[in-house]
Amino acid sequence: MLHRWRRLRRQKNLPRFLVAQLLRKTGLSRQLLIERSNYRMWFFPTAISAACWVDPEARRGDEIFLEHYLRHGDVVIDVGANVGTFALAAAALVGETGKVFAFEPHPRVHEYLSKNIVLNGFRHVTALNYAVGNQDQMVTISDIAADDDQNHVGSAAGYAVRCVRLDDVLADAPPIALLKIDTEGYERFVMEGASDLLQRTEGVLWEASEPMFRRYGYAVEDIISLLQSQGLTTTFESHGGRIEPATMQNIQASHHMNLVTVRDESAARLERLAGYQTPSDQSTGGGVIHGV
């Protein structure tokens, strides 16, 4: 009950939020289209769809980041794609000469993702109904109807789905411009199953959440070390299209934070981001997580 009250208090447009919840419950939302900056999506009965209908600026930060980072013809991997806001925005930017692989394990949400891809005519987007981890095995994905953007691997109840390794599924994929991972704490295992792929990846956008990581028995330092072992050495905080040097103190103090980790030779991409400064320009000096 307290969680719901806090959620209501966070709403900038409470009347529209309440209407969105009614539309979700009645199924009437399925008749509505949501226009984004460079793609469209159905208002499916999901948390992210509702958020984008209530607030046109929802998820806009991801779109701004992609607009600066991606180039025509790039290859992007989206692990934890949900209904596709990130994958669709990326697909519009990389064009038909590029490629987007979107992984969504929840069967119902994957169906919505697939329909959004068809809606936009994006033939260069491949939707895969798999969980992603460090083993090829069957796992359980939770089924949280109200907050389906928080579904996670390892729940006691939910759907049995196949979990795959990126190294196996995308062994023949070309060099990766960006690997995005948002798996509610399962990020480490996704990366452990992608050791070969990471060696040909320029940048990783990942969600850091110590509470979620603790669910699986590890800490943010473990991911930082794993990425550094693959040559991805410089980490920044991503804020609505701007990036700032990341410090371990800030990461550990935050409930969740979007981080970008890149190779030093990928600095040209980072310079495309609004507000970007090289580590040497920062007054904090060693504050940026770089080769630590």
Q: What residue ranges of the chain have pLDDT lower than 70?
A: 1-11, 240-241, 274-292
Domain boundaries along the sequence of the chain: 59-290
Element (H, E) at 192: helix 187-192
The pLDDT of residue 133: 98
The pLDDT of residue 89: 98
The pLDDT of residue 274: 57
Cβ(108)–Cβ(46) below 8 Å = no
The pLDDT of residue 282: 44
The side-by-side arrangement of strands in the sheet containing 137-141 is: 131-132, 159-164, 137-141
The pLDDT of residue 157: 87
The pLDDT of residue 132: 98
Element (H, E) at 250: helix 248-253
Residues 174-201 pLDDT 10s: 999 999 999 999 999 999 999 999 999 9
Fold entry, domain 59-290: Rossmann fold (3.40.50)
Distance from C-alpha of 104 to C-alpha of 79, rounded to nearest angstrom:
7
The pLDDT of residue 7: 63
Judged by phi (left if over 0) then psi (alpha if -120 to 50, else beta), residue 231 lies in left
Polymer length of the chain:
292
